[in-house]
Homo-oligomer: A and B are copies of this chain.
Amino acid sequence: MSLDLAPSPVRSDAPAPSSGRALTVAIVGATGAVGAELIDQLERRAFPVGELRLLASPRSAGRSLTFRGRPVAVQVLDDDAFDGVDVAFFSAGAGVSRRYGPVAAARGALVVDNSSAFRMDEATPLVVPEVNGRDLPAEGAGRLVANPNCVTAVAVMALGPLHNEVPIRRVIAATYQAASGAGAAAMEELRASTAAYLDGRAFQPQVLKHPYAFNLFSHDAAVDPATGYNGEESKVMDELRKILGAPDLRVGITCVRVPVLRAHAMALTVEFASPLAAERAREILSTAPGVRLVDDVAANHFPMPNEASGRDEVLVGRIRPDTSDPTGCSLALFVVGDQLLKGAALNAIQIAEAMVGR
């Protein structure tokens, strides 16, 4: 850390700054919604940044973003931008990651990739540190680690600790996904289209295909006509199996975009290999790292996006037996997590922290 700069606000749950050397950190896709959160997280968690390189497409070059109170110019992404980089965070889509991720790794960076490009690549670890930190490689330099899809990341925070207690056999999920998953422009479209609706003005969707004001729709990823599942759903199915280390896990999922700004919610029905009491699940989740139990039956207070937004913890509640499974092997729960934080930027930084700390 540069001591001549004002200290960033350190939250109680942030790790102490590393005692090692300050690192050169690159953010690819710095001007996007996740990019903004990455910059904020580096500051808030006192990540040992010596130099920060903000990389983006040519149309964002010349812009400047603030880090630790000082402006940092956005540079155009090219191969040489990774020279001397210790840690590179990628959040600019799968195409950019495929093109530049291997370049950054070849030049010695630890690459933490938020795109789907390498998640299911066998040689690439796909990691949520609280759940499968064991899958992180021993050495960071020159390695690429994938950050999961946002639904996957939030879901495994609840599923992982339960799976450790009794193996999970089947998950049926219905999601309530926020605008942020489609980027900053989609968040703005939700705001602008809602304002227009309230004013009685017409609004033509630009970012998303369907009207968003007080409306919801099946996730905008393309649907595979052979399976009937969209790309988002397929990602979650595959990624849950990989992170939980459960290749035979059966997953049924419906991904839906709802008019919420930045936290994803999901209703999960979970079948275990043997009975698991709701009370025991509640105990396990009440002490799980990164999880906050919000399960107040008397007050009808359960996880909500407005209480998850801007927070590191994933909220879990409505833990109860699934009444449609008379064997007692199934539980239902409701899970909400900030799509931009645990669903993206926070998890990416946590991966880097775990690697740098070694």
Q: Which residues of A contact B (CB under 8 A)?
A: 170-172, 174, 176, 190-191, 194-195, 198, 209-211, 214-218, 220, 222-223, 225, 227-230, 237, 250-254, 256, 258-261, 265, 267, 269, 278, 297-298, 300-302, 304-306, 317-326, 330, 332, 334
Contact = CB atoms under 8 A, between A and B. Distances in A.
A323 B269 CA distance: 14
Contacts of A250: 323-326
Given A170-B324, A269-B172, A260 B214 contact: yes
A210 B170 contact: no
A317 B217 CA distance: 11
A250 B269 CA distance: 14
Contacts of A228: 278, 297, 318-321, 332
A190 B250 CA distance: 38
- Protomer copies: 2
A251 B216 contact: no
Given A228-B321, A250-B326, A300-B209, A256 B306 contact: no
A99 B176 CA distance: 40
Contacts of A190: 214
Contact of A324 (B176, B251, B319, B324): B251
Contacts of A322: 172, 252
Nearest to A191: B198
Given A214-B260, A260-B259, A332 B254 contact: yes
Contacts of A305: 214-216
A281 to B, nearest CB: 11
8 contacts: A170-B324, A216-B265, A217-B302, A220-B300, A225-B297, A252-B322, A256-B334, A269-B269
Contacts of A194: 194, 198, 214
Contacts of A195: 198
Contacts of A260: 214-216, 258-259
B252 A215 contact: no
Contacts of A320: 227-229
Contact of A218 (B218, B326, B334): B334
Contacts of A198: 191, 194-195, 198
A229 B278 CA distance: 13
Contacts of A318: 218, 228, 254
